[in-house]
Chains A and B, each alone.
Chain A
Amino acid sequence: MDITVNILLTIATAATPLLIAAIGELVVERSGVLNLGVEGMMIMGAVGGFGATYLTGSPWIGLLAAIAMGAVFSLLFAVMTLSLATNQVATGLSLTLLGLGLSGMMGTSFVGQPGERLPNLYIPGLTEMPVVGRLLFGQDPIFYISIALTAAVMWFLFKTRTGLTLRSIGDSHTSAHALGIQVIRYRYLAVIFGGACAGLAGGHLSLVYTPQWVENMSAGRGWIALALVVFASWRPWRVLAGAYIFGAVWIGQLHAQAFGIPVPSQFLSSLPYLATIVVLVLISRNKRLTMMNTPASLGQPFVPDR
């Protein structure tokens, strides 16, 4: 039983940063903006979170710094694509490039310094419960944030007026604009929210997952988060499921190896990517489903007529 609990906990840790970054990007894409800079914002969050923790000694301040770093960095993207109507794909890619470079420069003095890990939740009595105790009451704080965030985004998008407005902007910015909705303002807020989430995901990497700073430590997780959003056909609860499936495949291949299953490790390592493609295909085959959820104006620049 213990091993199952341990494996589930490991999967949760692997899935949490993917989930948070993907939920943020989901909101961005629902507003009709495609930000390919998730990897860059994530790594900035990681360096910001570690740096603040290192300088202040408090991982909680680090947590806030990671969020702030991601949000501020995403502003750059927002100004470019929303105010200056630049191409979103190219701008997002440059954001990633810039983030990887800047974080490396900023982090030079943090290399080789042990970090401070955010403490796990501990509730006397509850955490000690067999099996469910550690799963429900013994994980790191960001895990709980990630679940709450998913629920909140779900509620926001589908149960609130503002959420409806946001989705309508994603579906057609021109009609939304015609209705007097402030398209650009909504999109700014969505992009900044996405940046904050990506930053938090990065903070998870440098404050929980592996409490340290090393260059390129996001190791492509931002890209996986992007894939997850499409994988989930822009549905929050499916992002949650997808992140955990992804985490399970990831951890599962390591377990398969440790069990001694003789498959080339390169093949096992490529499984998550192939799985994403397969799921993308399965999802997009269902035209009705895709049409219903895909923000129709995704990736198109919007400049209001005067």
Chain B
Amino acid sequence: MMRLELVKRPQRSMLFSALSPFIAFALTIIAGAVMFALLGVNPLTAFNIYFIEPISQVWQLHELAIKAAPLILIAVGLSVCYKANIWNIGAEGQFILGGIAGSMVPVLFPQFEGPLVLPLMLLLGMVGGAAYAAIPALLKTRFGTNEILTSLMLVYVAQLFLDWLVRGPWRDPQGHGFPQTIQFNDSAVLPELMPDAGRANWGFVFALVAAVLVWILMSRMLKGFEVRVLGSSPRAGRFAGFGLNRMVFFAFLLSGALAGLAGISEVSGAIGQLQPVISPGYGFTAIIVAFLGRLNPLGIVAAGLVLALTYLGGEAVQSALGISDKVARVFQGMLLFFVLGCDTLIHYRIRLVGLALTKPEGAAKLEAAPKLKEAR
């Protein structure tokens, strides 16, 4: 019987560290080609429309930046959590609460205008997101409650709360009873970067700045070391005098604040008012972005752009070839699977017992015909 074994490498393989994203991407392309062929579309045409066309026009590059900004911003925060082995999967809720908190200024005080409005909104957005993230952090540290589930449950609560606000107390009285707040006044709208070329706004700049800052934090400062130590071994962390509870709060508050910032940037930049739904699942997609970027803030910038591209590409093939929008989701799922699978090669050698094969293709072959592995 043929079976698969992982053999731990003495140290992480620099070669596969560099190669694995490309292998994963190649595998995704192959699987994608099969999928398009099954759908009766010439894969080359499809790929051209999917991956090339969306980045060959300036306005589309702007759209790419708009789509990528919240993903990067949220994922950068989440990467700190995940490095610390803390599982915040409720960024979607923190995003929404950030949007709501920041919107208090233009919705409740529409006459208030001037240069102070935006900074105040952004600040409130961060506070809102962080405060909402503090709930699972508090429950975890006080009662040991599993943060995956509490943060997830709070997403649904946040969605319903926003729904209630825009249909009830915050509804635009002049809006014919439709569920939305008043349009923000001009000084509450996040300006576009280059209005003549496209719609991209300052949100993208925030995302890049956040990525760089968190990268510095994680790789150049003691706090980053603390995060990594506590993440890989809480015991060792405790010996080193690092507080696990403090870390839980730090990670949740940081990621909550960034998600909140993403939320208010999205509301004030791209939408211009509060609506019942302000996020097409950015908080969840960002989890994928965080892993695609291997929890490295700079990698996350690239991953965010790639994922944004899969959205734009999905729309492009839909309008050009009439292919269902589900394709984009399947594509994202496959990409992530391959990336996760190939990253195994960084830490392990894979070998198929019975066949003297240690080549990376083994991973792909195994996907097709999985066999039980015996421990010894």
Binding site for B on A (CB under 8 A): 36, 75-76, 78-80, 82-87, 89-91, 93-95, 97-102, 104-105, 108, 177, 181-185, 188, 220, 223, 226-227, 230, 264, 266-267, 269-270, 273-274, 276-277, 280-281, 284-285, 287, 290, 303-306
Contacts and interface: CB of A to CB of B under 8 A. Distances in A.
Interface centre among A101, A182, A305 (most CB of B within 10 A): A101
Interface string B30-57: 0000000000000000000000000000
Interface of B: 4-8, 82, 87, 89, 139, 143-146, 148-150, 152-154, 156-157, 160-161, 163-164, 167-168, 284, 287-288, 291, 324, 326-334, 336-337, 340-341, 343-344, 347-348, 350, 363, 366-367, 370, 372-376
B376 to A, nearest CB: 7
Contacts of A91: 337, 340
Q: Is the interface of A mostly helix, strand, loop or mixed?
A: helix
Given A97-B333, A284-B144, A182 B375 contact: yes
B152 A93 contact: no
Nearest to A106: B326
Nearest to A290: B144
A95 B334 CA distance: 9
A93 B292 CA distance: 13
Contacts of A75: 370
Contacts of A226: 149, 152
B143 A270 contact: no
B145 A98 contact: no
20 contacts: A79-B366, A80-B337, A82-B373, A83-B6, A84-B350, A90-B288, A91-B337, A97-B333, A98-B334, A98-B337, A100-B329, A101-B327, A101-B328, A101-B329, A101-B332, A188-B372, A230-B149, A281-B143, A304-B376, A306-B376
Nearest to B344: A84
A95 B340 CA distance: 12
Contacts, number: 167
Contacts of B7: 306
A79 B340 contact: no
Given A89-B89, A90-B291, A184-B373, A273 B156 contact: yes
A26 to B, nearest CB: 14
A266 B161 contact: yes
A76 B330 CA distance: 14
Given A267-B160, A285-B143, 14 more contacts: A80-B337, A82-B373, A85-B347, A93-B89, A94-B288, A98-B337, A101-B330, A183-B375, A184-B374, A226-B149, A227-B153, A230-B149, A266-B160, A266-B167
B373 A270 contact: no
A220 B156 contact: yes
A273 B153 contact: yes
Contacts of B376: 304, 306
Contact of A97 (B8, B82, B148, B288): B288
Contacts of B344: 84-86
A100 B168 CA distance: 32
Nearest to B284: A93
A105 B326 contact: yes
